[in-house]
């Protein structure tokens, strides 16, 4: 199976709607999923959905807010957004159990069952997300038949939380071991945090899959950092 988690190049682009530069892909987004932890060490966050009719239109609430579970290590700035960090704030590396702060396209919905969602990916035996930075397939979903069993990866068909979810098109850096296999997925009961993903109750994941159909953007930004993106997010 070919890699299906593309590496996304993030650029700063001018948005006439915002009158300033906002990070891509936010500047051109019509649907936004905003995840806001209270602090960099919080393991829970507020998630709110927004829509707008055009780039120069205001954001409007589209459901929520709801509580999301995030990394049990808290939050760290992704390698692509490390310029937004202030001294003392961590930058994401593999194995830190932190959700990566930044702005990313939401990719394909996935799950164990069948679905009519556009671009839906059914998880089948052997599907694996590679988290081994020594592998050229790092941060991609592939199969054990392709990469073998020596390469470290998440065996997605064996993980109950992946029975429903969405891929985050996360722009990692393999040389920097900048993190891999970032998803929105079903919350595991009784677990205080994730390994670096966003988790929700299953009905909310299903709702988010429908919302993101056709394209949406995920923003993970700690509350204290929202002001660093002045004019980019809903008031």
Residues of the chain whose pLDDT is less than 50? 1-19
Which pLDDT score, from 0 to 100, does residue 6 have?
44
Assigned domain for 234 exists: no
Q: Is residue 219 part of a domain?
A: yes
- Structural domain for 123, as ranges: 12-229
pLDDT of the residue at 185: 98
- 5, part of any domain: no
DSSP strand pairing (183-186 vs 153-155): unpaired
Per-residue pLDDT, 9: 35
Residue 223 pLDDT: 97
- Answer yes or no: is 235 within a domain: no
Dist CA 16 CA 91 (whole Å): 30
> Does residue 1 lie in a domain region?
no
The Cα–Cα gap between 6 and 80 comes to: 14
Total of domains in the chain = 1
- pTM summary value: 0.90
What is the C-alpha to C-alpha distance for residues 146 and 127, in angstroms, rounded to an integer? 10
Residue 7 in any domain: the answer is no
Residue at 4 is within a domain:
no
Residue 170 maps to a domain: yes
Per-residue confidence (pLDDT) for residue 113, from 0 to 100? 96
């Amino acid at each position: 199976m070919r890699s299906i988690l593309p590496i996304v190049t993030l650029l700063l682009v001018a948005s006439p709607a915002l009158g300033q530069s906002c990070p891509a892909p936010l500047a051109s987004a019509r649907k936004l999923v905003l995840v806001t932890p209270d602090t960099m060490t919080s393991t829970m966050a507020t998630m709110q959905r927004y829509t707008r009719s055009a780039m120069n239109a205001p954001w409007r609430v589209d459901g929520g807010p709801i509580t999301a579970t995030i990394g049990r290590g808290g939050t760290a700035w992704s390698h692509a957004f490390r310029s937004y960090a202030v001294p003392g704030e961590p930058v994401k590396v593999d194995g830190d159990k932190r959700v990566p702060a930044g702005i990313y396209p939401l990719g394909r919905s996935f799950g164990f069952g069948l679905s009519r969602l556009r671009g839906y990916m059914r998880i089948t035996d052997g599907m694996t997300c590679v988290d081994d930075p020594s592998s050229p397939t790092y941060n991609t979903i592939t199969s054990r038949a392709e990469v073998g069993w020596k390469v470290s990866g998440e065996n997605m068909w064996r993980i109950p939380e992946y029975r429903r979810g969405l891929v985050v098109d996360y722009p990692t850096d393999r040389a920097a071991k900048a993190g891999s296999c970032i998803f929105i997925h079903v919350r595991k009961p009784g677990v205080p945090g994730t390994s670096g993903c966003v988790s929700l109750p299953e009905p909310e994941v299903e709702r988010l899959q429908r919302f993101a159909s056709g394209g949406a953007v995920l923003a993970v930004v700690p509350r204290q950092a929202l002001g660093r993106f002045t004019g980019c997010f809903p008031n």
